[in-house]
Structure 1
Amino acid sequence: MKKSELYKGSLATIILKLLNEHDKMYGYEITQRVKEITKGELHITEGALYPSLHKLQDNGFLDVEVVKTGNRLRKYYKLTEEGTRETIRKLAELESYIKTMRVLVNPKYRLQ
């Protein structure tokens, strides 16, 4: 299994977490921030990012603001109130998953 496949299930959580930390972000900015935070370990492609952004928007978790920047239009994504609640849920889910995986792969974390 490629490492990128492990991240796929966490993409929505990654996006929500970044938007929770910043007021609003546009797509390319999200990809670059992830690359920066992970020191190049994780690259999110446009082909993965935009379907996730659209799904989060369709589910009511994101609002979109279109801003004209120079000669181009840029879509900024921002959390809705429900998106903020979903971020909390997704982060708790991910923490639980990480804890479970840690116990499974590393015997020193197993409960007595």
Structure 2
Amino acid sequence: MENKQLIKGSLNVIILKLLSDHEKMYGYEITQHVKEMTKGEMQITEGALYPALHKLEADGLITSESQKVGGRVRKYYLLSEDGQKSVSSQLDELAGFLNNLSLLLNLKPSHQ
């Protein structure tokens, strides 16, 4: 499934939601979690992920902390207080958009 543009447009909300579900995550962990949850249908590249993480951090929605793990420094990302407030509204906004898109495209729910 070719969905790079769709992922790019919803990457911030994906990151915020994952961080709201987990106390903290590092970049590679985020990419692997998305890949596992979607059975490989969605894959986030490092080239897309890290600029999004840096922007979210610059916007004050996430923070980061470094920890030494196995002799290497690993950067973990966490939701900030503003990020915790924002994730709910962004999920509501995305749900509304998906509902309207479904109406416009006359999509019927799939039963798998």
Query: Once superposed, what is the RMSD of the aligned Cα atoms?
Result: 1.4
Provide TM-score, normalisation by structure 2: 0.92
Provide TM-score, normalisation by structure 1: 0.92
Q: Deviations over 1:54-109 (max 9, x none)?
A: 00000001111100011210000000110011111110110010000000011769
Determine the structure 1 residue equivalent to 2:3: 3
Moved over 3 A (4+): none
Residue identity (%): 54
Which one-letter code corresponds to 1:62 in the other structure?
A: I
Distance in 2, Cα, partners of 1:10 & 1:67: 28
Q: Deviations over 1:4-55 (max 9, x none)?
A: 1122110000000000000000000000000011110001000000000000
Determine the structure 2 residue equivalent to 1:90: 90
User: Is it true that 1:68 corresponds to 2:93 in the alignment?
Assistant: no
Unaligned runs of 5+ in 1: none
**Number of residues of Structure 1 aligned to a counterpart in Structure 2:** 108
